Structure 1
Amino acid sequence: MIFPPPPNSHALAVLILTAIALILFSREKISLESSSLFILISLAVGFEIFPYQTDEKTFHAVDFFMGFGNEALIAVCSLMIAGQGILRTGALDPIGRILAKLWRLSPTLSLLLTLLLGAFISAFINNVPVVVLLLPVLISVSLKTGESATPILMPMGFSTLLGGTSTTIGTSTNLLVVAVATEMGLKKFSMFDFAVPAVLAGSIGILYLWLIAPRLLPKRKIAISDSSARIFTAHLAVTEESPINGKALIKALELTDGKMKIMGLERGEGNSIMQLPDVLLMPGDHLVINDTPENLKEFETVLHGTLYPVGSEDSPVDENNPLHDSDQQIAEVAIFQGSQLNSTTLNNFRFFDRYGLMPLALHRSGKRFKRIEDKIGEIRLRVGDILLIQGPRSNITNLKKSNDVLVLDSTVDLPYSKKAPIAMGLMLAIIMTAALGVLPIAISAPCGALLMIMTGCLDWRDATRALSAQVILIVVTSLALGTAMLTTGGAEYLGSVFVVMAGHASPPLVISGLMLLMAIFTNIISNNATAVIGTPIAISIANQMGQSAEPFVLAVLFGANMSFATPMAYKTNLLVMNAGEYSFTDFLKVGIPLVIIMWATLSFLLPIQFL
């Protein structure tokens, strides 16, 4: 086995930086945005200080920033905005209502229909709004039937990933691979060029998700069914013997170590007074407090007051007159891409002041934070976080209408905007004009996004929230790395090494090996980075073997989309993980067999169609 000679110094430096990038992208403690920007700046500064020249021209460092104007990135951003319009208007909600009704008739067949529908819609629309639609439907069904939701949430999430592989616009990964391959001289893939192998392999994957995957997942109650941490509203009356009698309101807070949350102050029934820190408390004053029964009783003891349930201020709390919460409901809400709560804290957002809802617990990456309100209020939220909240039915209804978060329970009907038909019509127009070749997706998607705003389906604030800095930076950085590898000969070198290691293996075996390598990478690092870095290598391998490049490029595309084995592999995996309270092991148990199924099936189908 004779390896090719080492590459030039610039190519070697790029390969080392690529390895560093792959390590950084896999680190949870370092944000993907920071890692991406670091790699991008390192490339630019390095090539500016040490210019790279060929016989034809000098490569300029500023060219690394051309990715911000790449047509794939423009299409990705525009489709994110259009998808936000679908989400904001509730255009997919009628589908959710129909599914909810069918689940009552036949859960087994309804699961299959849900998987097929999720996959079909995700072939044309980013899968985030599809998952956002289906999560509350499935959790609602589980609550009404008393069955656990955990066996069905993960299969639903994976079905949307399967569907996204079948068209050029199904995922941002597909758009990037097609764009990079086109820049390198390949004929541009049309929307359905690789739909046949994707649909055939995806069908086998759907059968696995329908018949086998639910049996591999544990049946457990999700947090919404746990009411042990409920919050109650009560009145604490100041008595003559109370240490806060005649003292300022702030004294009451000091005696409770700042834990007591005073929602109101009444002097006489229905006579509210200002909650000024220096207001003097008098016997008979009522402090309106929200907290758990344990904390309320503790405050009663510390302040020597008398505790009354709301509406029964003439009878103190005891066994015969307990606290009650007849209008209170508990709900789970998820933070999704575009939510105003993403990257901020509940305290900074003034969540309770805005919605009158009390956070009880926070779920993230399979672990549950303890119910300490101050702690939860100070945690910076991120996409996929699940909040357990409690409050009046009307307040939860208002929260759902706000679209700031995804409400996962079934307390009220899903919202449906009058603009929904317009939003759906515009999305269909984006898809059809691109599919029929009337306009390229990089043109039709921005047109559709603009019309979404002009028709009032969403405003500019919603549009900007739909854009993800993480996606933009990882795409631009990946494109820059791909350009550097291609220009300096790094991609050709890696292709040569791959060919040498493959020995005399046939093209189908090389395609299969390349796809498996991409599938491993995508579950450890970003799928977009895997796709963009892998595409020039795939084309180099094909050229050195004297084969058509299309099946090798598609091996990268399909492999980079096999984001099933780890929760961090794709953003909807995190959303599903937290909603279903899955462990990392659950993803391995269900995801690895699905990766093997897709890899084996596509390894057979790709050479048949494209070689």
Structure 2
Amino acid sequence: MDSIMPALPDGHGIAILLLIVVALFMFTREEIPLETSSLLVLVVLAVGFALFPYRYNGELVDPIDLFHGFGHEALIAVCALMIAGQGLVRTGALEPIGRLLARFWAVSPMFSLLLTLLIGAFLSAFVNNVPIVVLLLPILVSVALRTGKPASGMLMPMGFATLVGGMGTTIGTSTNLLVIAVAADLGMRHFQMFDFFLPAAIAASVAILYLWLVAPRILPVRVASLDDSSPRLFTAQLHIEEDGFSDGRTLSELQDKVGSNMNISAIRRGETLIVPLPDAMLRAGDRLRICDTPENLTEFSSTLDAALFAGEVRVDDENPLRADDQQIAEIVVTQGSLLEGSTLAHARLAERYHMLILALHRPGTTLQTLSADLGDLRLRIGDVLLVQGSQEQIASLKQSVELLVLDATSDLPHTQLAPLALTIMASIVVVAALGLMPIAISAVAGVLLMILTRCLRWQDVVQALSTPVIMIVVASLALGMALLKTGGANYLAELYVALSAGASPSTMLSGLMLIMAILTNIVSNNAAAVIGTPIAFSISQQLGLPPEPYVLAVLFGANMSYATPMAYKTNLLVMSAGGYRFSDFMRVGIPLTIIVWLVLSWILPKLYGLG
């Protein structure tokens, strides 16, 4: 095979290649919102082609075509399936499965872990794995709390099982839908729902054995923030009484009076907020917001001649601050949650649900308590709020299905609409599987049925849609189109073929899959998939071989989001709930990536006759 290096593409092609490098770098930067970097890439592409016109096959490339991703079949299907999945969550349609698993865990933990992995993988082949993880997280955390075993031995294997299961069908992940749609745009036949189920099922079976028998044994014991037994804290208000000790005094004088251990987070005077500076002069009617133990709050009230209020209720002998019915729980920020992208101050969680926010945990950081200024901190997927409220409040919050709550019980929401939501979701899958209509159409029709039957509200639809997912898909589709039309895809394919000169077609397929597996753990899996698909198609053309196995190598490789917590949103969820560290994902995820890669590198060439 000729190993001469290919000639560089023209100026437009080089510019697109450089933009891809910059884009992939921006996608890895945590301080840049993914939707912002995606929009930047999209604007640069559109403005670039508008200012510097380019002809492809004799026709001028229209910059407006770069925005077609907003109406692309794959994006429509992704969004519709995300919304339908929200319908399952809101109605509690998966609750019977959760109840069954909870019952098995009480009998045989070892068998139950295997059953949990299998059910998680199976469901994720047809439903986005986010609601599956949302279903299983409270069950496993509850099991860990009841048995005294660390949740860290269960949660990561469960999360990875949903990822390997998602590889099995065309609708298992958004990555699958994108790869198949882009491949169809390139002229390939459209994959049917179960066309690559066999290789995916074989790889998933081996992966689940590893996750069942090996992963729990090599994972270190981690303690999540839910196990924190620190003293109960309460947020309350001190109302400055007229002619009392505090009336007319500064904050520093109050601090001196109580021993400098009173933390005042805000001063409200009428409708005005005053910065709690040491020289701030207090007046009768001012309200000081403080957070402390019941004993300290009562002492502050007595010492400073101030009335103590908890919410709108004055604390006195008839309404004391008590913690005997209080419960600690964790609220995990999930995709589509009303907390995602919001700040604590804007979400008004304490006021809305009548509970106290004790602390915030962010994956990869230490626990931040309320002594830090958390009100303006923007919440992300995977953040965990440690909250305190009455048992009745916690139970009510769980039944609201608006938030993912982890606590010592395994109660799950369930409504009378659950069977209907499950029937609609099954119909979406069956209609697409039988080829009666494309998944984009059946999924949108299913969403409409869920809205008409009140399985979903329009606010649920809005919460289910993820702006970062939409923007990364549109930007990636635009990049992929530009890469193809400027010759960048052909150049990268020729370069790969030249660098691997002398290697067999099966080895080249394996190498391409490994590159995608590495890339997907660093940048967005959707970006890796959309950019990789035209390259895989060009490689097959260079080799004169069918494109299907090489496109599937991209699809499977882009799904191997196991080695880093930021590789996939459910990794962040289990990282928070299990108290994992970055190194834990590498310890379990790298061997899992190698296992799945080796199995698929063996089975794909045999299935497609590559030798």
CA distance in 2, matches of 1:252, 1:338: 44
- Whether 2:384 is the aligned partner of 1:386: answer yes
- Read off the aligned partner of 1:437 and give its amino acid letter: G
- Read off the aligned partner of 1:292 and give its amino acid letter: T
Query: 2:88, 2:418 within 8 Å by CA — same for their partners in 1?
Result: yes
Q: Per-residue deviation at 1:370?
A: 2.7
Q: Per-residue deviation at 1:261?
A: 8.1
Residues 295-353 of structure 1: per-residue CA shift (max 9 Å, x gap): 53773585267999999956999xxxxx7411111001101111111111121122111
Q: Per-residue deviation at 1:367?
A: 2.1
Alignment partner for residue 37 of structure 1, among 39, 46, 52?
39
Q: 1:380 to 1:4 in 2, by over 3 A?
A: same
| Stretch of structure 1 that moved more, 188-197 or 339-348 | 339-348
In structure 2, list runs of 5 or more residues that go unmatched.
269-281
Secondary structure, counterpart of 2:386 in structure 1 = strand
Secondary structure, counterpart of 1:333 in structure 2 = strand
Secondary structure, counterpart of 1:173 in structure 2 = helix
Secondary structure, counterpart of 1:548 in structure 2 = coil
Q: 1:70 to 1:311 in 2, by over 3 A?
A: closer
- Whether 2:129 is the aligned partner of 1:131: answer no
| Stretch of structure 1 that moved more, 231-240 or 528-537 | 231-240
Q: 1:315 to 1:429 in 2, by over 3 A?
A: closer
- Whether 2:225 is the aligned partner of 1:220: answer no
Corresponding residue of 2:273: none
Q: 1:235 to 1:412 in 2, by over 3 A?
A: farther
Q: 1:73 to 1:288 in 2, by over 3 A?
A: closer
Query: 2:226, 2:328 within 8 Å by CA — same for their partners in 1?
Result: yes
TM-score of the aligned structures, taking structure 2 as reference length? 0.90
Matches within 5 A, 1:377-526: 377-411=375-409, 413-526=411-524
CA distance in 1, matches of 2:314, 2:64: 69
Query: 1:224, 1:332 within 8 Å by CA — same for their partners in 2?
Result: yes
CA distance in 2, matches of 1:440, 1:254: 71
- Read off the aligned partner of 1:112 and give its amino acid letter: L
Q: Per-residue deviation at 1:553?
A: 0.3
Query: 2:333, 2:380 within 8 Å by CA — same for their partners in 1?
Result: yes
- Whether 2:301 is the aligned partner of 1:296: answer no
CA distance in 2, matches of 1:544, 1:387: 53
- Read off the aligned partner of 1:291 and give its amino acid letter: D
- Whether 2:48 is the aligned partner of 1:50: answer no
Query: 1:96, 1:134 within 8 Å by CA — same for their partners in 2?
Result: yes
Alignment partner for residue 264 of structure 2, among 259, 280, 290?
259
Q: Per-residue deviation at 1:495?
A: 0.2
- Whether 2:561 is the aligned partner of 1:563: answer yes
Query: 2:516, 2:528 within 8 Å by CA — same for their partners in 1?
Result: yes
Q: Per-residue deviation at 1:56?
A: 2.8
Corresponding residue of 2:596: 598
- Read off the aligned partner of 2:490 and give its amino acid letter: E
Q: Per-residue deviation at 1:409?
A: 1.2
Alignment partner for residue 146 of structure 1, among 145, 148, 161?
148
CA distance in 1, matches of 2:337, 2:197: 33
Corresponding residue of 1:209: 211
Residues 253-276 of structure 1: per-residue CA shift (max 9 Å, x gap): 99887717899xxxxxxxxxxxxx
Corresponding residue of 1:588: 586
- Read off the aligned partner of 2:116 and give its amino acid letter: T
CA distance in 2, matches of 1:36, 1:231: 42
Secondary structure, counterpart of 1:84 in structure 2 = helix
- Read off the aligned partner of 1:394 and give its amino acid letter: E
Q: 1:478 to 1:235 in 2, by over 3 A?
A: closer
Q: 1:9 to 1:248 in 2, by over 3 A?
A: closer
Corresponding residue of 1:184: 186
CA distance in 2, matches of 1:82, 1:405: 17
**Aligned residues, how many?**
589
Q: 1:280 to 1:406 in 2, by over 3 A?
A: closer
Query: 1:384, 1:578 within 8 Å by CA — same for their partners in 2?
Result: yes
In structure 1, list runs of 5 or more residues that go unmatched.
264-276, 318-322
TM-score of the aligned structures, taking structure 1 as reference length? 0.90
Corresponding residue of 1:268: none
| Stretch of structure 1 that moved more, 9-18 or 219-228 | 219-228
Query: 1:231, 1:293 within 8 Å by CA — same for their partners in 2?
Result: yes
CA distance in 1, matches of 2:222, 2:158: 17
Q: 1:484 to 1:299 in 2, by over 3 A?
A: same
| Stretch of structure 1 that moved more, 358-367 or 230-239 | 230-239
Secondary structure, counterpart of 1:378 in structure 2 = coil
